[in-house]
A and B are shown apart, each in its own frame.
Chain A
Amino acid sequence: MSDQETDTEVTEPAPPELVHGAPVTRSAGQEVVHPDRAAYPGVMEALRDDGFNMCVDVCAVDYLTRPARQLPDGMVAERFEVVVNLVSHAARRRLRVRVQVPESDPEVASLFPLYPGSEAMEREAFDLFGIRFSGHPDLTRILMPEDWEGHPLRKDYAVGRVPVQFKAAPASR
């Protein structure tokens, strides 16, 4: 250690990495960007201009029963998360984007204007989780019947098991 280095330089944490203003974490060797809900459309547009030309997947996760998860410092964990996977053909790179969506107001901007291929995936997230995507051209159920009530993949929606002879009734073993 050279005598020019001070104590503060050794203990000071590295500045958080930002991609278009949104903090980045690493998960299992993959890069994950965490914009907040308001910044999300801008970040996605910037990422698309960066060369992430295909939106591979849009899905949602309901963290009701397991709120604790890896998030950048200072980010508030909400009940729902919308997860977007992007790929850049030129750079041969993947990127994941995770947005926190609160239960009280489960709405987030739609990616349809940027990536029309997200249309069916956002409908699925709406159908199974109840997350609304503003700006989506046709936000209706896609997998469940038209008149179904409830959003099946939410954690407070039971799996719907029918009791079967010789098997204990509760779903989890």
Chain B
Amino acid sequence: MPGMEDLSHNFLTGRVEDLVKWARRNSVWPASFGLACCAIEMMATGASNFDISRFGMEVFRGSPRQADLMIVAGRVSQKMAPVLRQVYDQMMEPKWVISMGVCASSGGMFNNYAIVQGVDQVVPVDVYAPGCPPGPETLLHAILTLHEKIRTGEIMRRRDATGAGAGLDLPGDAPKPHLAVATPK
């Protein structure tokens, strides 16, 4: 047919799995979970100098139901830990957690009665970003690491192995046995 000769340039082909992963990693929407000083640096990352928007992430959702990523930015106290878990549970799969700062990763400089020694005691963490507070560049590096993990599918593979997550089926992945939802500690 006349005009169809040039159409070959206008088509992209790829695996559905790759397209899904591309979409997922390029529009990860964070839930606002800023707790302490790291929250300030997280907001600085969202501001114009460091611009998290170039990764599609400037929409910090107020509701965890609309969010993909929880950046735990700051120290988690004993009183806040159940709240953290409740917000994490409200997020829909697929969801990821970045533990921003040393307080969230390990308790940081506060090795005492009041701080949960590492937020991975409460929620499963995908990427740890060290720093006190981590500068915006470090947070962006953590985010890009997360994007890379999404791209390679490493996260989903690990989730299958440990049983975390809601047991999603992506075309092309091996079928998963039915797994119970991970219960909070």
Contacts and interface: CB of A to CB of B under 8 A. Distances in A.
Do A and B touch, yes or no (CB under 8 Å, in the complex)?
yes
Interface in A46-103: none
Contact of A152 (B79, B107, B113, B117): B113
A159 B113 contact: yes
Interface residues of A, number: 12
A145 B111 contact: no
A66 B117 CA distance: 30
A161 B78 CA distance: 14
Nearest to A163: B111
A158 B113 CA distance: 8
A160 B113 contact: yes
A144 B79 contact: yes
A152 B114 contact: yes
A145 B78 contact: yes
Contacts of A160: 111-114
B79 A161 contact: no
B36 to A, nearest CB: 15
A44 B113 CA distance: 35
A164 B111 CA distance: 9
B112 A144 contact: no
B80 to A, nearest CB: 9
B171 to A, nearest CB: 44
A144 B78 CA distance: 8
Interface string B106-134: 01000111100100000000000000000
A162 B114 CA distance: 11
A145 B116 CA distance: 13
A161 B111 contact: yes
Nearest to B78: A145
A162 B107 contact: yes
Nearest to A160: B113
Nearest to A148: B78
A148 B113 CA distance: 11
A152 B111 CA distance: 14
In the complex, which of the residues A152, A158, A162 has the most CB atoms of chain B within 10 Å of its own CB atom?
A: A162
Nearest to A153: B113
B167 to A, nearest CB: 34
A69 B133 CA distance: 39
Given A144-B114, A162-B117, 5 more contacts: A143-B79, A144-B78, A145-B78, A145-B79, A152-B114
